[in-house]
Amino acid sequence: MKDRTTARGRSRTTGPGRDGVAGAGPDGANEASAGPATAPPRRRGTRLRGTRRHPGSQRVPVTLLLPALLGLAFLVLPLIGLLVRAPWSGLSEQLTSSAVWDALRLSLICATAATGVSLVLGVPLAWLLARTELPGRRLIRALVTLPLVLPPVVGGVALLLVLGRRGIVGSWLDSAFGITLPFTTTGVVIAETFVAMPFLVISVEGALRAADPRFEEAAATLGASRLTAFRRVTLPMIAPGIAAGAVLAWARALGEFGATITFAGNFPGRTQTMPLAVYLAMESDPEAAIALSLVLLVVSVAVLVGLRDRWMSTP
């Protein structure tokens, strides 16, 4: 440190003509110390570590390998079973029946609507959690996360108690506006939103925390209000995180069962979504249930493909 500064200083005193060049030499080296100067040893270090514990160079102990393979089989076999027992010949017939279409259409509409509501409410909520010094922020985050771990049926019961016809808010909605939410298509959307929004909030909050808040400061110095900075700088920068959160929420909403059946019931064409239809079909027409399950499996795989960059890229 001292050497460097004195060296630079000396070049100043030796004459203005040489200043620029002589001074910039040690200078540049100093600035670059985070990069090229220290890079070679660091690179060497990782290479050493790499050769020492290369994953393939050691034998995997059987006590770990066996349960691992069993676990894999346990997860994959049911899916294979579904494919094996699928009524491939009658599949097109099954899938074109109006009941299936109704359920599928309702599922897609409700899951999409729930995702939309989650985006509108969840992104600002995530921003609030990530970017402000809100008092009780930790508690709020815990409350937001609760539906993630709460059994969905409990969520459905809770929704009924609040928004049901005799619920705290529901009775008021009913008497003041004549609005009834439970056992309607809107109720399905509400139940799905309740279960799916936490996924979106957590995902977006993570993206916001990873995004450098100084970009918002830079926007402020350019005359952008906080809202403008959020809209024109932050939002585009965290778009991938929002998209991932939205896909997660959508997938969760699509598969929602417990809260939906509790809060919205099971009326074909109105509140009977795919999972409910599958469950009911298992009793009356197992082949239809398998066909419906296949559809949901395809949707799930599509979601996975959509998210592969985020989840499957880590080796």
Partner 1 sequence: MNSPHRTSPTTPDTTTPGTTTPDTAPGGTPPAVTAAATAGAALDARLRVDRAAFALDLALAAAPGEVVALLGPNGAGKSTALRALAGLLPLTGGHLRLDGRVLEDPARRLHTPAEQRPVGVVFQDYLLFPHLSALDNVAFGPRCQGRPRREARAEAAAWLERMGLAEYASVRPGRLSGGQAQRVALARALAVRPRLLLLDEPLAALDARTRLDVRAQLRRHLADFEAVAVLVTHDPLDAMVLADRLVVIEDGHEVQSGSPAEVARRPRTDYIARLVGLNLYRGRAEGTRVTLPDGTVLTTAEELSGPAFVAFPPSAVTLYRERPQSSARNLWQAEVTGLDLHGDQVRAELSGALPMAADLTPAAVAELGLAPGTAVWASVKATQTHAYPA
Side-chain-facing half-sphere of 138: CA atoms under 13 Å: 0
Output 10 or 43, the one with its CB closest to partner 1: 10
In this structure, are residues 298 and 305 in contact, taking their beta carbons and an 8 Å threshold? no
Output 11 or 260, the one with its CB closest to partner 1: 11
In the bound complex, what is the minimum distance in angstroms from residue 136's beta carbon to partner 1? 24
Output 224 or 243, the one with its CB closest to partner 1: 224
Q: What is the DSSP string of 250-312?
A: HHHHHT--HHHHHHT---TTTT--HHHHHHHHHHH-HHHHHHHHHHHHHHHHHHHHHTHHHHT
In the bound complex, what is the minimum distance in angstroms from residue 25's beta carbon to partner 1? 7
Output 41 or 223, the one with its CB closest to partner 1: 223
Output 30 or 184, the one with its CB closest to partner 1: 30
Q: How far apart are the first and last CA of the chain?
A: 41
What number of other Cβ atoms are within 10 A of residue 224's Cβ?
16
Binding site for partner 1 (CB under 8 A): 2-3, 5-14, 19-25, 27-29, 31-32, 212, 214-215, 217-226, 228, 232-233, 236-237, 239
In the bound complex, what is the minimum distance in angstroms from residue 208's beta carbon to partner 1? 15
In the bound complex, what is the minimum distance in angstroms from residue 11's beta carbon to partner 1? 7
Of 82, 103, 110, nearest to 297 (Cα)? 82
Residues 6+ apart with CB under 8 A from 266: 272, 276, 280
In the bound complex, what is the minimum distance in angstroms from residue 132's beta carbon to partner 1? 16
